[in-house]
Structure 1
Amino acid sequence: MTDEQHLSHLSKVEIYCQILLGILRYTNLKTYPTEEEHKKQLTKKLKFQNAHDFDLYRACIDQMEDAQYAINEFIENGLYINENRQGEMYLRLYGVLNACYLQTGVMIDLVRLFNFQNQKEIREELKKLDAIDLRNKIASHTTNYRDENNYSSYFKVAQSSLDKKANRILVVKRDEEANYINLLDYVIEFTKTIELYLDQIIDKELYSRTFKKESFVWMKSRHDYIKNRS
């Protein structure tokens, strides 16, 4: 299998994670006698602020990638695969919403680690995305949801509205107000936003550092592949 064939089986987020891991692995360092000294120098080279940020960055890559597996599964197969089972639909519904929430936390950590100037604005944008708002309403603070005005309410999902495509889920509010939502559209919108900020991180970090030629080519080829992918 060629490298391009391999990449064709991956989502953009997964490929971004490969590049982020490459930045960690291929940042040029001198040789140091202990792992601890190696971490200290790498932390300094990456311009991280805290001693534990090296491990946090590695954890962010893993969490971003792991959560994307759940999101990919939902985008490909919806709320069930072959049989309409209520238990599976609720697992997938809650699972994909919380996968989005996990990626939000990871992105907030990443923009802090790489010292973005507009961190507050990014946090607010991510928290206002429809997928995150829906997660808070029906998969987290369901019976004690508070809006931006601190108004308390509660929500429930009409069980009869769940189906494979998840494109017309009825969400009912306390005062009987109800809205149909398209979960697939929410998740796709969310993923596009995550991809946008991952790309900004790559632009900021990949092209401002010195790497060995073969390492840089490997990472840049992945970035080019993403940019040329429809």
Structure 2
Amino acid sequence: MTDKNYLDATSTVGIYAEILLGILRYVPVKNTSSENEYQRKLTKVLKFEKTHDPDLFRACIDLLEDTQYAIDEVFENGLITKSDSHGEKYLRLYGVLNAYYLQLGVITDLARLFKLRGLKKIRDDLKFTKIIELRNKLGSHTTSYLHAGSEEEPDFYRLAQTSIDKWGSNLGLVGRKKDIEEVDLTANMKEFTNRVEDILDQIVSKELNSRTFKKEHFEWLKLRHDYVKENRLNRN
């Protein structure tokens, strides 16, 4: 399999996660005599603040990859596969909604670790997206949902079962006032994922433009970054 074949089969977020892992592996750290000393030097080279931050960085990479597998599965196959069971519909819906919530935490941590400007705005821009609102209404605070900026008593939501189709194109949320809110799941998934890609690109661009790697390592990282930049440009 060529590099292009491999990258063509990998999601954009997945490739960004691979680049981040490459940065962690290839950032130059001088030889040390102990694990503790290596951790200390790695923290300094990455310009992190705490000695456990490189471990947090690795945890973020792994969680970003794992959650994206779930998200890519729904992008590719929707909420209904061959089994066409009610249980699978809900499992896939609740699973993908919570995968996005986990990514909210991951991206916030990565933005903090790499000291992106406007951290609060970055988190708020993601936190107040429709997909996170949908997650809170259906997958977390379903019977005790507080509307932002409202002093009303908590709302409660249920999903109209008949509104679930393969792509979640017209999910019907019924609240306390019995009004039906219609939501396009896939469209809101794409919106959040595009925002995640934007933030990951800021991090990767910042690191590749401000660090010196061995030639072969930089070429490996740049190949992937050039690929996702071109892919996103063509997609838009």
Instruction: State the match for 1:184 in structure 2.
Output: 186
Tell me, in whole angstroms, the C-alpha distance in 2 between the residues paired with 1:17 and 1:172. Answer: 37
- Tell me the CA shift for residue 209 of structure 1: 0.4
The 5 Å alignment of 1:153-164 reads: 153-164=155-166
Aligned CA-pair RMSD: 0.9
Tell me, in whole angstroms, the C-alpha distance in 1 between the residues paired with 2:71 and 2:121. Answer: 24
Instruction: State the match for 1:20 in structure 2.
Output: 20
Instruction: State the match for 2:63 in structure 1.
Output: 63
The 5 Å alignment of 1:25-36 reads: 25-36=25-36
Instruction: State the match for 1:120 in structure 2.
Output: 120
2:38 is the alignment partner of 1:38: yes
Q: Secondary structure at the match of 2:210?
A: coil
Instruction: State the match for 2:204 in structure 1.
Output: 202
Q: Secondary structure at the match of 2:182?
A: strand
- Tell me the CA shift for residue 177 of structure 1: 1.1
Tell me, in whole angstroms, the C-alpha distance in 1 between the residues paired with 2:168 and 2:134. Answer: 13
2:177 is the alignment partner of 1:172: no
Instruction: State the match for 2:104 in structure 1.
Output: 104
Instruction: State the match for 2:140 in structure 1.
Output: 140
Out of 215, 220, 231, the residue aligned to residue 218 of structure 1 is 220
- Tell me the CA shift for residue 178 of structure 1: 0.9
- Tell me the CA shift for residue 164 of structure 1: 1.1
CA contact (8 A) 1:7 1:15 kept: yes
2:9 is the alignment partner of 1:6: no
* Percent of paired sites with the same residue: 50
Tell me, in whole angstroms, the C-alpha distance in 2 between the residues paired with 1:29 and 1:223. Answer: 23
- Tell me the CA shift for residue 148 of structure 1: 1.1
- Tell me the CA shift for residue 227 of structure 1: 1.1
Letter in 2 for 1:90: Y
TM-score, with normalisation over the residues of structure 1? 0.98
Tell me, in whole angstroms, the C-alpha distance in 2 between the residues paired with 1:215 and 1:38. Answer: 20
Q: 4+ residue stretches of structure 1 with deviation over 2 A?
A: none
Tell me, in whole angstroms, the C-alpha distance in 2 between the residues paired with 1:22 and 1:81. Answer: 35
TM-score, with normalisation over the residues of structure 2? 0.95
- Tell me the CA shift for residue 29 of structure 1: 1.4
Letter in 1 for 2:132: I
Tell me, in whole angstroms, the C-alpha distance in 1 between the residues paired with 2:230 and 2:114. Answer: 25
- Tell me the CA shift for residue 83 of structure 1: 3.1
Aligned residues: 230
